[in-house]
Structures are given as structure tokens and as C-alpha cells.
Amino acid sequence: MSEMNRGIVAVCETDGNEKLKNVSFEIISEGKRLADITGEKVTAVVMAEKKPELSDIYACGADEIVFVRKVSSLLYDIESESWLASKVIEKIKPSVVLFGATDYGRILAPKVAAICRCGITADCTSFEINENKKLVQIRPALGGNILAHIISPHTMPQMASVRPSVLKKMKTEKEVTGHFVEVSFDIPENRKKVKELKRESFEANDDDKIENGRIIVAAGSGVTSRETLQLMNNFAKLIGGVSGCSRKLVESGWMPHSKQVGQSGKTVSPDIYIAIGISGASQHLAGMKTSGKIIAVNNDADADIFSVADIGFVMDGNLWLKEMMKFLENRQNNG
Amino acid sequence: MKVAVLVKQVPRTDKIKIDKESGTLIRKGVESILNPYCEYGLDLAVSLKKKYGIIEEITAFTMGPPGAELVLRRSIALGADKGVLLSDKAFSGADCWATAYTLSCGLKTMGNPKLIICGKQAIDGDTAQVPGEISEISGMPVLPYVLDILELTEEKIVVVSEFENGTVTLETSLPAVVTVGSGSNIRRIPSVNDVLKAYESEIVVLDKTKAGCNDTDIGLKGSPTRVVKIEPAFSKGDCEMFDDGNFNEGFEKIKVFLMENNDEEN
């Protein structure tokens, strides 16, 4: 069976404004990197209401774009799109299929895999091609304490979802183009059972999204007062960063889920990550340890967060924020 | 209607230590708990039973070795009416798909419940794949990351689902699978009576024959994926430390990072 399967497919995801999400460019780029090793071609599959901006997709390395025009108005049409993706995969017969491990991708991908009756690995952070030309899918497990290397030895295609913001988006400078196909399928009735009654977006605009932040300042359970949280938000603004948090602050209702960094939240990889009062549970570390520079502030000198940090402060978070802001303001005044 | 809640026994991953040399898990002293997301699912089922008179029975399901019955007893103490354990040596080595298949077989034995509630993921594997696969294998739609159930009748369910950038209100006909991503972080403590009841309850044990599983679809044999290597996740371990006495020196270093970052942007 495996001799017949050729090509790498990236199943893309669009946001509410019909723009391709960053993670889609990341999986196309990774697909291209793998394709260069195996000598296959890369197909980007886009299921959307409107035709996407093609040049951006080709620029990441896609040889071909398969566009499936969405007819339903559901933002997350899990049932139809899992079926549609499986139909496209059935036609292309690729050896590898990649999904972005967003909330949507993490529910879509296992359904597609179950329809195709193939193996799937969730939340991969890197890939290798082994000596048998198999895709080695590498993912953190056990709360980020270990990395598991996983293969699908007997089934095709080899599917994986990929953590956003971990792999790099590549871009070629040259004017590139490729093959474009539009396909359509009649969606069966039993795939139309879910209706969307209402949609509410969180107010976060693009600049305020943690996945876009080049500097992130995040609070953990050591931040025990609203005043400190406010101070942290002000500090984040002052240095041009966005604020984030660990799971504890979401559970206490102080921060929205959209701001959560970690295994059950988002993976981020900013240039600078500043952790205030975060103890560094492995679940949290799994979501941020690939950041460029990590600065940690914690009362407890033994906190695990220091094991991944570049600079650590054994200090109270509130005091640290006040002193740090004073320091930066003085710097500004003195030129 | 009958409601099923899928539960999993997991090690407390926040207490796990890894042997840095061998990359293996140090199990000693690590307690097993009911996966928190499954507990949220169970809480949701119990609150639905209270709110809507139409739920006759909540059954907790798990797959695992005989010892996994503890997690079913815990579920009963927290409000499930009974527990079903899928246990057979032939189930071992199952990946997500084979687990989903085995659980789907178990669900069928109770005449396919109308509502299957799952935690969105387990904190050990963190794959979040079993609910989606069960929904396909059982031919039901899935409503993921449910925050709240607004309406439940014999025919349909209306839920609020939370995705990273917003919420959607979704309606579907039943049967359906829902996954739960959040809940109260205050762990409920069952009463002594509930615990006693849980320990006296009979746990239904299904082996592969009783569950009606195909031999080729279970355990390692039925699993399309294989773990070929495990290694400890890296840590940097060269952190430069400052404290109350010398934080200004640390601030100078941060300033350099911030300036470098600005240069790159401009």
C-alpha cells in the first residue's frame, strides 16, 4: 500500500475572517522541508468560503493548492470538514497529512484519521524521516516530561497534528506559483447534523493575541492579587508585549482561556518570555520552553521554571514588577 | 435517557520525575488520580441529571488493567450510577484508535447511550484524540470543549463550546459525543456514604469477548501507531540567578534583550 501513497498534504485552517492561520503556513513549510528529503510534492488543502490568497501559500513551498469551497456557514464545521478532508485524501493518496493542532485541528484530525483508518499523532513538535522513509512524529507527553518518537509502520497516510508556533514558517523570496484545483463534493445528510446558533468572538485583537506576541509576560499562581495582575498588564504594554498566564489563573477566572500558555492552552515561542509567579509545572513548560530568552520571577528558588530560564529572580512578583518599571522609566528619562 | 461518561486513571503528571539518564518514568510515589478533565465531564453529567429529569442513569466507562476499577469507584462516589471496566490482556498496548474502538464496543453493550461525555484530553497522554475517534467509530457528531449545556431533550442538545478565540453555541440531534474542557477547580469531596456506596457497587467487567471486539482491532495489533523511542525533554539548566539584593544587574541584562528585540523589529 505504501508504494502507492505519495505526497505531503497540509490541511489548512482559516480564521473567522477567511484568512489562513499562521499554523497553516507553518505546516506547509514543514511539509516542504520533509518533501525535499523524500522527493515528494506538497499540497495545501484549503476548505473555506472564499478562495485564499494563493501567492502566500506557494511562497511557503506548496506545489499545489486544493481548494474546497465551504457551503455551510459554521465557523467550526467539524462533521462536514472531517468528511471533506477524508475525500480529498482519498483522491490524492498522500504519504503524509499534517494538521495544525489548534482547538479546531485537534478535534478535526482524529476524526479524519478514524475515517481513513490510519494512525495519527497529536501535537507534534518536530519530525524526522527514518531509514525506512517513515515519518517519525515527535511529541511531548506526560505533561511535557518526555518526548515520544512515534511512527505508523503499516498504515497510510501518516497523519499528525502540529503544535502552532513551534515550527518555523519559511518564505521564498522568488516569485513562485503552482497548480491550483477547485473541487466540490456533495456533503451527505448525516454530516449536517450540527447547527451553529450563535458565535461570540473574544475581544482580543490581533496585537493582543499571545500567539502573535514577540514578547510575552505571563502570570501564574504566585500572582495572588488583582493589583499585581494589573501591574503585570501595564508592564507588558510598556515593553510592547502581550500578557498571558498559566492554567491556574484561567481556572480562578482571572484570565480567559485564550491567554493560557501550556499543554492544555497554547504553545508559544516568542523572542522573550517573562514568567511572573509561575512555578513551572511541566505542562506549562511544554507550552513555552522554546521561547528565545526566558526570564523567570519566583519567590521559591527551587521552582522548576528556573530550569528552563536564562535569567531568574528569586523575588516577589509584585516587587519585581514595581522595581522593573521604575528601572525602565529611569532609563527612558536619562536617555 | 442513558448517559455515559468516559473516565481515565492517570498519574499526577505535575509530580512526575523522569530519570534523566534513562528517560524513564520514576513511578515510585506517584499517585494515580481520576483525570481532571474526566472529572469535569462527570460533574457536568451529574449536574445535568439534577437539572433535567430525563436522565435515568449515568454509567462511567474506562479501559485498563483490573486496578483501574478504582477510578470507576471514585466516579460512582462522585455521582455515577454504575461503572463498566473494559479489561483484557489483549487490550494492552492500545494507541488512541484502538482505545477508541474498544470503548466504542463497550458503549454498544449498553445499547448505545444517547449522550457520551468525555474530558477533552487526559493529562498523561494529552492527545485529545479518543473522543473524536469514538464519534467516528460510533457514527455520532462531536461537540468539543463544552462550557455549558443550554438545553437537553430526548432528541437534541444545545451547548456552548469554547475555542481559542471565541465561543459558539451549537445544536445537534442525539446521540452525540461531547467533550469538556473546563470546570470547577475545587475538587468535590464525596460524603462517607457515597464512598461506601461506591465500594459496595458492582463493577461490570467486559473482556474482549463480552465487549464484542474484533481481535484485529484491539491492543497493540489494532493500533496503527507505535512508540519507537522515548527521551527526556531537555532543560537548559544554566539560569543566571538574581535576588532582592542585586536585581538591578539582572534588569540591565533584560534591557539588552529588549533592545536587541527592538532592533530586529525595526
Q: How far is A134 from chain B (nearest CA, A)?
A: 12
CB A74 within 8 A of CB B111: no
Q: Which chain B positions have a beta carbon within 8 Å of A118's beta carbon?
A: 224
CATH architecture of B2-222: 3-Layer(aba) Sandwich (3.40)
C-alpha closest to that of A78 among B51, B1, B140, B239: B140
Q: Same domain, yes or no, for A181 and A310?
A: no
Three-class SS state of A219: strand
The predicted pLDDT at position B236 comes to 58
- Which of A116, A198, A294 to mutate: most B Cβ within 10 Å? A198
Q: Which residues touch A208 (CB under 8 Å, ≥6 apart)?
A: A242
CB A102 within 8 A of CB A10: no
Q: Which of B172, B223, B231 sits opposite A193 (nearest CB)?
A: B172
The predicted pLDDT at position B116 comes to 98
The predicted pLDDT at position B230 comes to 86
Q: Which chain A positions have a beta carbon within 8 Å of B161's beta carbon?
A: 76
The predicted pLDDT at position B2 comes to 95
Q: How far is B128 from chain A (nearest CA, A)?
A: 7
- For B264, name the nearest residue in chain A, comparing CA atoms only: A271
The predicted pLDDT at position A165 comes to 82
Q: Which chain A positions have a beta carbon within 8 Å of B96's beta carbon?
A: 110, 120, 122
- Residue ranges per domain, chain B? 2-222
Stretch 197-226 of chain B: residues touching chain A, C-beta under 8 Å: 223-226
Do A120 and B96 count as a contact with CB atoms less than 8 A apart?
Answer: yes
The predicted pLDDT at position B23 comes to 56
Query: Is residue A150 in some structural domain?
Result: yes
- pLDDT-based confidence at residue B189 (cuts at 50, 70, 90): confident
For chain B, say whether A81 makes contact (Cβ under 8 Å): no
Do A145 and B16 count as a contact with CB atoms less than 8 A apart?
Answer: yes
- pLDDT-based confidence at residue B245 (cuts at 50, 70, 90): confident
The predicted pLDDT at position A128 comes to 96
Q: Same domain, yes or no, for A95 and A52?
A: yes
Q: Same domain, yes or no, for A210 and A163?
A: no
CB A34 within 8 A of CB A167: no
Q: How does pLDDT run across B134-183, given as a tens digit for each residue?
A: 999 999 999 999 999 999 999 999 999 998 878 999 999 999 999 998 77
**What domain count does chain A have?**
2
- Asked whether residue B14 carries a pLDDT value surpassing 70, the answer given is no
CA A333 to chain centre: 39
Query: Is residue A200 in some structural domain?
Result: no
Q: Same domain, yes or no, for A45 and A161?
A: yes
The predicted pLDDT at position B215 comes to 96
Q: How does pLDDT run across A215-264, given as a tens digit for each residue?
A: 999 999 999 898 999 999 999 998 989 999 998 888 888 888 889 999 88
Query: Look-up: residue for cell 456506596?
Result: B197
CB B170 within 8 A of CB B51: no
Q: How does pLDDT run across B38-51, given as a tens digit for each residue?
A: 999 999 999 999 99
CB A193 within 8 A of CB B177: no
Q: How far is A59 from chain B (nearest CA, A)?
A: 22
Do B240 and A306 count as a contact with CB atoms less than 8 A apart?
Answer: no
- Asked whether residue B264 carries a pLDDT value surpassing 60, the answer given is no
Stretch A50-55: mean pLDDT: 90
β partners of residue A293 = A272
Query: Is residue A199 in some structural domain?
Result: no
Stretch B206-228: mean pLDDT: 95
Do B14 and A281 count as a contact with CB atoms less than 8 A apart?
Answer: yes
Q: Same domain, yes or no, for A215 and A181?
A: no
Phi-psi map region of A286: left, alpha, beta (phi>0 left; psi -120 to 50 alpha): alpha
Q: Which chain A positions have a beta carbon within 8 Å of B143's beta carbon?
A: 194
Q: What is the ipTM of this complex?
A: 0.88
User: Domain boundary at A159, A191, A223, which?
Assistant: A191
Q: How does pLDDT run across A300-330, given as a tens digit for each residue?
A: 988 989 989 999 999 999 999 999 999 988 8
Q: Same domain, yes or no, for A37 and A162?
A: yes
* Residue A135 belongs to domain spanning: 8-191
Among the residue ranges A288-297, B12-21, B186-195, the one predicted with the least confidence is B12-21
The predicted pLDDT at position B266 comes to 46
Stretch A16-34: mean pLDDT: 92
Q: Same domain, yes or no, for A115 and A160?
A: yes
Tell me the CATH number at A18.
3.40.50.620
- pLDDT-based confidence at residue A211 (cuts at 50, 70, 90): confident
Choose between A333 and A69: higher pLDDT.
A69
Q: Which chain A positions have a beta carbon within 8 Å of B23's beta carbon?
A: 146
- What's the whole-number average pLDDT of chain A? 90
Query: Is residue A130 in some structural domain?
Result: yes
Burial B238-248 (b: 16+ CB within 10 A, else e): ebeebeeeebe
Q: How does pLDDT run across A107-125, given as a tens digit for each residue?
A: 999 999 999 999 999 999 9
Q: Which chain A positions have a beta carbon within 8 Å of B175's beta carbon?
A: none
For chain B, say whether A267 makes contact (Cβ under 8 Å): no
Query: In chain A, where do the E strands start and end?
Result: 8-11, 42-48, 64-69, 96-100, 120-124, 126-129, 135-141, 146-151, 158-162, 179-183, 195-201, 215-219, 242-245, 272-276, 293-297, 311-314
User: Domain boundary at A191, A224, A240, which?
Assistant: A191
Q: Which of A142, A202, A295 sits opposite B254 (nearest CB)?
A: A295
Maximum mean pLDDT: which of B72-86, B119-133, B226-240: B72-86
Residue B144 has, within 13 A of its CA and on its CB side, a CA count of: 26
- Asked whether residue A17 carries a pLDDT value surpassing 90, the answer given is no
- Asked whether residue A2 carries a pLDDT value surpassing 70, the answer given is no
Tell me the CATH number at A278.
3.40.50.1220
CA gap B72, B60 in Å, rounded: 6
Query: Is residue A142 in some structural domain?
Result: yes
